[in-house]
Amino acid sequence: MVKRLLIVGAGEAGRMLAREVGTRARDHYLAVGFLDDNPALVSRDVDGLPVLGATDALAQAVRAQGVDEVLIAVPSAGRDFVRRMVALCRDAGVAYRIAPGLLEIIKGPVHLEQIRDVRPEDLLGRETVEFDEGEIARFLDRRTVLVTGAGGSIGGEICRQVGRFDVERMVLLGRGENQVYEIERELRTLYPKRDVVPVIIDVRDRDALTRTFALYEPEIVYHAAAHKHVHYMEAFPAEAVKNNIIGTRNVIDAADAAGVARVVMLSTDKAARPGGVMGASKRVAEYLMAARNNPSGAPKLISVRFGNVLASRGSVVPLFVSQIRAGGPVTVSHEDATRYFMSLKEACMLVIQASLMGEGGEIFILRMGEPIRIAELARDLIALSGHKVGDIRIEFTGLRLGEKLHEALIAEGEETIPSRHEHILRTASRVPPRADLDAALDKLAALAAAGEDDAIRTELARMIADASITAASRADAAKGKPVKRS
Nearest residue to 316 via CA among 274, 364, 393, 376: 376
HEC string of 15-68 equals HHHHHHHHHHCCCCEEEEEEECCCCCCCCCEECCEEECCCHHHHHHHHHHHCCC
Handedness of CA 415, 343, 303, 297 (dihedral sign): negative
Query: For residues 347 and 154, is the Cβ–Cβ distance under 8 A?
Result: yes
Distance between CA atoms of residues 156 and 162, nearest Å: 10
What pairs with residue 425 in β-bridges?
Answer: 365, 418
Count of beta carbons in the 10 Å neighbourhood of residue 474 = 12
Q: What residues have CB less than 8 Å from 326, skipping those under 6 apart?
A: none
CA angle 363, 377, 414 (to 5 degrees): 20
Distance between CA atoms of residues 335 and 340, nearest Å: 16
Distance between CA atoms of residues 7 and 173, nearest Å: 47
Single-letter amino acid, residue 191: Y
Distance between CA atoms of residues 31 and 22, nearest Å: 8
Nearest residue to 240 via CA among 286, 290, 280: 280
Q: CA end-to-end span of the chain, whole Å?
A: 63
Count of beta carbons in the 10 Å neighbourhood of residue 138 = 12
Query: For residues 171 and 199, is the Cβ–Cβ distance under 8 A?
Result: yes
Distance between CA atoms of residues 230 and 401, nearest Å: 8
Backbone angles phi, psi at 147, to 5 degrees: -120, 120
**484 has catalytic annotation:** no
Query: For residues 126 and 368, is the Cβ–Cβ distance under 8 A?
Result: yes
Among the listed residues 3, 107, 242, 270, the single catalytic one is 270
Query: For residues 91 and 61, is the Cβ–Cβ distance under 8 A?
Result: no
Nearest residue to 288 via CA among 239, 321, 324, 255: 255
Query: For residues 306 and 342, is the Cβ–Cβ distance under 8 A?
Result: yes
What pairs with residue 30 in β-bridges?
Answer: 4
Catalytic residues, which ones? 270
